[in-house]
Amino acid sequence: MTEAVSRNGMEDLAGLADRYLEMLLDGDRREAIGLVMDAVQRGVPIKEFYLKVFQPVQYRVGELWQRNRISVAQEHYCTAATQLAMAMLYPRIFQTPKTGLKMVGTCVEDELHELGIRMVADFFEMEGWDTHYLGASTPTESVVETVRKVRPDVLAVSVSVTVHLPALMDLVRAVRQLPEGGRTKIMVGGRPFNLSPNLWERVGADGWAADAEGALRVAAQWVRGSAA
Amino acid sequence: MSGSALEPLPAEVLVRLASVREVVAAKVVVRLGLSASAGEKVKAGVLFTLRMLEAVAAVGDGILLEDQMRWALDRLPHDGIPPRMLARNLEVLREVLREEMADAWSGALESYCVRMVGMAREAADAEG
């Protein structure tokens, strides 16, 4: 990718996000996904696309529903379209050589907002981690069982809605009780953590991140720390 | 009123809160004298509010409580619950909660209720 393409790509992303959202709100999923694929084909890095198009668009979709500007059905349509667009990028995402590091990514039990943690898992995959993405509302015992089997370096857990914090605290306690639990660092993220400083400590996690890029940075520090 | 610290509630109080959830929600609906359909909607809202209260009280977080209230005040008018009605519902919730939790009532628990009612009342007053 040339610097010019990169610079143009960066400059265009806010406008691209506007157009992408507009197409989704018009119910034109095919056009919206075409926009994504064309941009990636032109050389816009997938991570940039995630952070500067998918993420802000999804925030705006949530706000539009909150203010009653769009219906629940429209909100679900936009989210499903973005999930489809992300899935179509997987042939590119899953070609990264593996490092041997393992990550489990999940939403806490009853939490349905899975796009954020899915982005986090994809960022780890792009960095060569072997990712086990469990998706929305995964029962606590299933997450614990996965950690027991996979023995990941990082367990990343997402909570978007404050009401699910007790379930997260239960999950953290349960993972800590595993004999193998000590080797797994627990990272948390989601709206409550973006709002409230040090909340991650109060729920018993090892760290937190505001977005997928931040999650990778935190994990890299942990890996460096354990290698030292 | 902005994000000041709230004391986390002890685990036994949180367990007690969870155990009275259904009874409290039912009593709030009765006390508000709502029709069956309005009662169902308010009951669902009260149950959610109580779960939210348990969550924020488990970590002692005023910022999260206020964020949830702002969200509710922004969204609920579109679902037919304006701030004035929300404030009234929360006042009744506080009353019922105080009765049902009489043996476990504390200044800390009161402060969560005061903040919720205060924010709703403030929004209702601003509406005129």
User: B51 vs chain A: nearest CA distance in angstroms?
Assistant: 6
Q: For the residues A69-93, what does the mean pLDDT come to? A: 96
**Residue ranges of chain A whose CB lies within 8 Å of a chain B CB:** 66-68, 162-166, 169, 191-192, 195-196, 199, 202-203
Chain A residues in contact with B14 by the CB 8 A cut-off are 166
Is the predicted pLDDT of residue B11 greater than 90, yes or no? yes
Tell me what pLDDT residue A9 has.
44
One DSSP character per residue, chain B reads --S---PPPPHHHHHHHHHHHHHHHHHHHHHHT--HHHHHHHHHHHHHHHHHHHHHHHHT-HHHHHHHHHHHHHHGGGGT--HHHHHHHHHHHHHHHHHHTGGG--HHHHHHHHHHHHHHHHHHHHH-
Cα separation, B52 vs A164, whole angstroms: 8
Token couple for A48: 């940039």
Residues 6+ apart with CB under 8 A from A206: A185, A186, A187, A222
Q: Which of B59, B75, B78 lies nearest to residue A165, judging by beta carbons?
A: B59
Q: In what order do the strands lie in the sheet with A185-189?
A: A130-135, A102-107, A154-158, A185-189, A207-208
Q: What share of chain A is helix, strand, coil (3-state, %, to 5)?
A: 65, 10, 25
Contact A85, A33 (CB under 8 A): yes
Q: Which of B64, B65, B68, B112 is the best substitution to test chain A (most A C-beta atoms within 10 A)?
A: B64
Using 50, 70 and 90 to split pLDDT, how confident is the model at A1?
Answer: very low
Tell me what pLDDT residue B37 has.
87
Dihedral of CA atoms A167, A59, A67, B50 in degrees, nearest 10, equals 10
Residue A177, judged by CB atoms within 10 A of its CB (0-12, 13-18, 19+), counts as exposed
Q: For the residues B59-78, what does the mean pLDDT come to? A: 95
- Residue type (1 letter), B122: E
Tell me what pLDDT residue B36 has.
87
Interface predicted TM-score (ipTM) of this complex, two decimals:
0.91
Nearest chain B residue to A68, by CA: B78
Q: Which residue has the tokens 């009593």?
A: B27
Contact A139, A108 (CB under 8 A): no
Is the predicted pLDDT of residue B2 greater than 60, yes or no? no
Interchain pair B55, A202: CB under 8 A: no
Q: How far is CA A8 from the centre of its chain?
A: 25
Residues 6+ apart with CB under 8 A from A8: none
Q: For the residues A129-141, what does the mean pLDDT come to? A: 97
Nearest to A141 by CA among A182, A179, A178, A111: A178
Using 50, 70 and 90 to split pLDDT, how confident is the model at A184?
Answer: very high
A150: helix, strand or coil: helix
Interchain pair B71, A203: CB under 8 A: no
Residues A139-160: tens digit of each pLDDT: 999 999 999 999 999 999 999 9
pTM of the model: 0.91
Interchain pair B64, A66: CB under 8 A: no
